[in-house]
């Protein structure tokens, strides 16, 4: 374990050096990332000029909703920084046969393929997310209880774990497809479902979708459960959701590990 932490530390240092070597590009990446986030926030502000809350009697008025958005930003920035750059590279490694060089290294292939690149510019969104969270929580009528703050970091970690599992499984699909240039787009669109409160998915089409995105692909747990923990009272049902999210995170990690290993076993080199 220590060996892997040391190697990960080396990856982090190398990526930091790389980012700081191309400082102008790094700053531009931070700015564009912040621009994307600002655009989304502007859209939500626009929506709240037309309505007092998202969904009737859901409790997602402006400040709780922005706490929800901030939670999503923090979780997504961690995933974008730590895992997405490596997963995106995998698609080309499979197509070109470059994966061979990774597989012969005396390290766990999943670790190497999913964590060797760190994108520091993605952290900018996470920092803004923390500030937005502080702003939104500061405007709550009732501040979140200590218990909520205690479980919040754990739930953030669970959210990251679920998204990591999803990234890994999408990356594994690359091995079957030969090429998966749409990985990033598919990831973006799939995680779109997690970017809004689960309550909006109601009615004859919404309820089955909500069930699918909660129990089969648990992306609705990623942001909803931690955001609800700090914006709504931690009652009995909320504790069940917390427990369910922890279990879902563990299950997602195990399943993604199995899927990735089986996909690697089917890999046929494309190089000569």
Q: Which of 18, 62, 195, 257 binds other proteins (CB under 8 A)?
A: 195
When the beta carbons of 28 and 247 are compared against other proteins, the nearer one is 28
Q: Assess contact for 29 and 80: CB atoms under 8 A.
A: no
Interface positions, 196-225, toward other proteins (CB under 8 A): 196, 199-203, 206, 209
Give min distance, CB of 254 to other proteins, in A: 25
Site string for other proteins, 1-40 (x = CB under 8 A): ------------------------x--xx-xx--xx--x-
53 binds other proteins (CB under 8 A): yes
Q: Which of 46, 104, 146, 265 binds other proteins (CB under 8 A)?
A: 46
Number of residues that bind other proteins (CB under 8 A): 43
When the beta carbons of 143 and 203 are compared against other proteins, the nearer one is 203
Interface positions, 54-93, toward other proteins (CB under 8 A): 54-56, 58
Would you tell me which residues interact with other proteins (CB under 8 A)? 25, 28-29, 31-32, 35-36, 39, 42-43, 46-47, 50-56, 58, 173, 176-182, 185-186, 189-190, 192-193, 195-196, 199-203, 206, 209
């Amino acid at each position: 374990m220590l060996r892997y932490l040391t190697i990960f530390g080396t990856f982090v240092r190398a990526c930091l050096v790389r980012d700081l070597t191309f400082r102008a590009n790094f700053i531009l990446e931070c700015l564009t990332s912040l621009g994307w986030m600002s655009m989304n926030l502007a859209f939500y502000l626009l929506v709240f000029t037309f309505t007092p809350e998202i969904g009737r009697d859901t409790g997602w008025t402006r400040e709780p909703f922005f706490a929800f958005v901030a939670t999503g930003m923090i979780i997504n920035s961690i995933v974008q920084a730590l895992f997405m750059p490596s997963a995106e590279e995998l698609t080309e490694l499979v197509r070109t046969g470059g994966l061979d060089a990774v597989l012969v290294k005396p390290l766990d292939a999943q670790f190497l393929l999913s964590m060797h690149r760190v994108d520091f510019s993605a952290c900018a969104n996470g920092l803004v997310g923390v500030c937005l969270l502080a702003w939104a929580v500061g405007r709550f009528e009732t501040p979140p209880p200590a218990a909520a703050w205690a479980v919040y970091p754990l739930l953030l970690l669970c959210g990251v774990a679920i998204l990591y599992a999803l990234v890994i499984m999408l990356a594994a699909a690359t091995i079957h497809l030969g090429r998966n240039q749409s990985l990033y787009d598919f990831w973006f669109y799939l995680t779109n479902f997690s970017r809004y409160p689960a309550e909006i998915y109601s009615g004859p089409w919404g309820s089955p979708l909500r069930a699918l995105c909660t129990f089969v692909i648990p992306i609705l747990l990623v942001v909803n459960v931690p955001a609800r923990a700090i914006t709504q009272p931690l009652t009995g049902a909320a504790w069940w959701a917390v427990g369910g999210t922890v279990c879902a995170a563990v299950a997602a990690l195990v399943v993604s590990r199995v899927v990735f290993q089986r996909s690697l076993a089917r890999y046929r080199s494309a190089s000569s």
